[in-house]
């Protein structure tokens, strides 16, 4: 499975961006798709995830501002980001996981995510 992100840009606080992630290869085995981000000097963190049934989960920091979605053929993953804040700045990664059941944290740990994209940079200025 190959994942390619796009859509990152520099915007001012309060602005919006939509990130895209195109998946190619054998994706049928991947049950979860998600977005992660990594700010300079910080660990990578989960932002949003969606499963094959369309169930969505979000990090508390982005609830009400970000929306994760997929097109009907599950090839393209999106992250609509509204009311962006400077703390949203970071490299955004798309990831795919074959985990079908997870109890506890919203995002399975990184070792459970089988495939990662190269990332797309989002910079939000105040």
Look at residue 109 and give its three-state secondary structure. coil
Residue 82 has pLDDT above 80, yes or no: yes
Of 98, 100, 126, nearest to 114 (Cα)?
98
Of the candidates 45, 60, 42, 41, the residue with the CA atom closest to the CA atom of residue 95: 45
Per residue in 6-42, pLDDT (tens digit) is 999 999 999 999 999 999 987 777 889 999 999 999 9
pLDDT, tens only, 44-73? 999 999 998 899 999 999 999 999 999 878
User: Does the pLDDT of residue 103 top 90, yes or no?
Assistant: no
């Amino acid at each position: 499975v190959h994942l390619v992100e796009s859509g990152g840009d520099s915007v001012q606080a309060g602005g919006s961006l939509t990130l895209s992630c195109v998946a190619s290869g054998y994706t049928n085995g991947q049950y979860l798709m998600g977005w992660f981000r990594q700010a300079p000097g910080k660990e990578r963190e989960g932002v949003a995830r969606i499963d094959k049934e369309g169930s969505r989960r979000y990090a508390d920091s982005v609830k009400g501002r970000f929306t994760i979605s997929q097109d009907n053929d599950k090839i393209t993953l999106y992250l609509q980001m509204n009311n962006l804040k400077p703390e949203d700045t970071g490299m955004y990664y798309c990831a795919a996981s074959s985990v079908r059941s997870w109890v506890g944290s919203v995002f399975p740990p990184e070792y459970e995510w089988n495939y990662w994209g190269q990332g797309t940079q989002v910079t939000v200025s105040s």
